[in-house]
A and B are shown apart, each in its own frame.
Chain A
Amino acid sequence: MEKSRLLRRYELPKRRDILSIGWIRRLVTHRAFQFAIILPNLFIFWLVILAGFFGTPVGNMNISITFVWMLWWFALIAIMVPFAARIWCTVCPIPAFGDWIQRRGFIRKRSNQNSTTQGRPWPRKLRNIWLQSFGFLGIATFSALLVTRPVATAIILLSLILVATVLAVTYSRRAFCRYVCPVGGFLGLFSMFSSLELRAKEKNLCKRHVSKDCVKGADISFGCPWFEYPGTMKRNNYCGLCFECVKACPFDNISLKTRWFGKDLLVKEGRGIDEAWKVFIMLTLAVLYIVVMQGPWGFIRSWANVFYVPPYGWAISGVNSFLLYAGIFWGSTLLAIPGIFLGFTALSRYLGGRDVKLRRVFINLAYAAVPLALTAWIAFSIPIIMVNWSYIVSTISDPFGWGWNLLGIGDIAWQPFLPRWIPYVQMAVLNVGLAFSAYYGALLARQTFGPERQLRAFLPLLAFLLLVATALAWLFTG
């Protein structure tokens, strides 16, 4: 299909195919590539799990907290996702055991293996990201425990490995990654904003290619574990960058290119109410996390801290207050904020034209909030790394918090990095997010209502975006 003028305009003028660089191509097409990069990561994973169970219970002195919830989280949300889409999925060790069992080997592809027919198909009703959203919300409800108690982190990581392995044994391909992984849900959503994309170079060539090796697998490769077909793939959402399609394609028809941020937000195909809701779940959670973990309201922190019993007793704290907290958590993410946005959407429809169904307007315009939601998470993560970097450094030397000093940096003093400037950095990031959200929001309004009614329809959306951005700005600087 010919690309619209709009999309052509936002492609960078000289986009080099990263896979055309010889050594990178040789690397990713090597059968052992994914195994080789997962292996060291798996070692770190086990270290994290062991430290969670056997290390000190003091979170900021245990590698399971400092590496996972400080270093990894920041790297994931602020670097990997915006600049390299789902590159984390390339190295993620959680589904590795399932892959190895499913493939009956670590590296080699057996010629008699047909990965399209192995395992049961994933239930049709669950082919969406609702499970991922609920899973993420469920885990996020206990985040005050999870990000501060090493044993909780170890249990959740082990549980994810267990679920991924069981699902790999039962269902075909990476059903876990595509439909269940709680991290995968928001990685997919935010990867739409990424400046990296893996796509088929010539989609017509894919259409004509009868054997569809990228989908079904070939002698040297497995069919796409993510149930994707590069020939029609226009968005990053569900591409785990495993590079199996690069190995499979006999025509070298797969490219990995840089691009302008957020291009996928304008792609109509694949949009759905599950993804639209996910936008508000992530946007609301970012605000809630900033309130709970970085705000001055200690009583909210004690609500979130399930096992904490403040001196004033169980009647207004402990389990009761945690249930209140969980109610606010779930109610605001699933009902209140999407409901408020629905009101703004109805206003957009009223101003833009009632010939478009409200559901369609809601879904289309929701994608405008993706950049704002992503930058809200980045802004949330900035103080985590700028304030706590010294904890990360010291746990490299003493991963279990047992008093070791392996590298001589275990006793480094806590010293925030330029804390005075944190609000300024957060606001700079938030402004970038708002700029992209307003930009894509205006284009989505045009896409939904046409150029003549674009501005009228966009104004309520802009008001919503400004409202959320103002709330975040108040939390950062007010």
Chain B
Amino acid sequence: MASTRNARVLTLIALIIPLLVASVVPMSARAQEDRVEVVARQFEFDPGRIVAVAGEPLVLAFRTEDVTHGIFIDGQGVDVVVEPGQEVVVNIVPSSGGKFKIRCSVTCGPLHPFMVGELVVEQRGINPLFIGSLASLLAVGILSTAYVLRRHPSGTRGGEE
């Protein structure tokens, strides 16, 4: 039956496409500065997005432009406080790729819970977490379609009450 054949083809595609996506993404590593100056102010970090390379040392120098802020980086063991007029230097070596939020950990004003930045750690020029996410979405979308086609081959009734 045509739908069952379609379902098989889609299942095959669902398995192959994620591998293709992972393989065609450029592998070039992004140039990386070893020291990044980060300014914390209500309610942002500047720069808001820092790109690092897994396994390479990264120095983050934080200072605040207004009130006291806290610096907490998910999964990196960083939790420090930055007072006005002070510079706090944090040395990290991100071990794995992915996206790690930088959060303010000291109540600094109304939008404090939303004061976030991002540390994106790449491996071989890509963010493996994002590529994995894309692959999973593609697989899920295609497999769901294949499942419907397999379960309801053309010729059967479809619809509702």
Contacts and interface: CB of A to CB of B under 8 A. Distances in A.
Contacts of B118: 296
Given A296-B48, A298-B45, A58 B158 contact: no
B105 A414 contact: yes
A4 B153 CA distance: 15
A478 B111 CA distance: 24
B133 interface: yes
Nearest to A384: B113
A113 to B, nearest CB: 34
Contacts of B45: 296, 298
8 contacts: A1-B161, A6-B152, A296-B118, A298-B41, A298-B45, A302-B44, A416-B74, A434-B140
B133 A427 contact: yes
- The contact size tier of chain A is 35 or more
Interface string B128-157: 011011101110110111011101111111
Interface of A: 1, 3-7, 9, 57-61, 144, 148-149, 234, 266-269, 292-299, 301-302, 305, 308, 383-384, 387-388, 391, 414, 416, 419-420, 422-423, 427, 430-431, 434-436, 438-439, 442-443, 446-447, 450-452, 454-455, 458, 462, 465-466, 469-470, 473-474, 476-478
A58 B99 contact: no
A442 B148 contact: yes
A454 B154 contact: yes
A451 B133 contact: no
A266 B152 CA distance: 14
Contacts of B156: 5, 451
A431 B132 CA distance: 12
Contacts of B143: 435
B11 interface: no
A404 B99 CA distance: 38
Contacts of B115: 298
A412 B38 CA distance: 28
Contacts of B98: 423, 477
Contacts of A234: 161
Interface of B: 3, 6, 41-46, 48-49, 72, 74-75, 98-101, 103, 105, 107, 110-118, 120, 127, 129-130, 132-134, 136-138, 140-141, 143-145, 147-149, 151-161
A458 B161 CA distance: 21
Contacts of A268: 159-161
Contacts of A422: 74, 101
Given A58-B107, A473-B133, A478-B130, A439 B144 contact: yes
A435 B140 contact: yes
Nearest to B160: A266
A298 B133 contact: no
A436 B159 CA distance: 16
The 10 closest A-B pairs by CB, nearest first: A298-B44, A296-B48, A420-B75, A438-B144, A446-B158, A442-B148, A419-B74, A478-B130, A451-B154, A148-B110
A43 B74 CA distance: 37
A438 B161 contact: no
Given A297-B48, A416-B103, A302 B133 contact: no
A128 to B, nearest CB: 21
B72 A416 contact: yes
Nearest to A152: B110
B98 to A, nearest CB: 7
Contacts of B144: 434-436, 438-439, 442
Contacts of A7: 160-161
Nearest to B105: A414
A150 to B, nearest CB: 10
Contact of A477 (B48, B72, B133): B133
B101 A458 contact: no
A292 B43 CA distance: 11
Q: Which of B118, B133, B145 has the most CB of A within 10 A?
A: B133
A148 B111 contact: yes
B159 A477 contact: no
A414 B101 CA distance: 15
B111 A451 contact: no
A144 B132 CA distance: 32
A78 to B, nearest CB: 18
Contacts of B148: 438-439, 442-443, 446
Contacts of B152: 6, 443, 446, 451
Given A438-B144, A439-B148, A454-B154, 13 more contacts: A149-B110, A293-B114, A298-B44, A383-B101, A427-B136, A439-B144, A447-B159, A451-B153, A451-B154, A466-B141, A474-B130, A477-B99, A477-B132
A19 B28 CA distance: 61
B113 to A, nearest CB: 5
A265 B120 CA distance: 38
A406 to B, nearest CB: 20
B158 A451 contact: yes
Nearest to A455: B6
B159 A6 contact: yes
A294 B116 contact: yes
A439 B111 contact: no
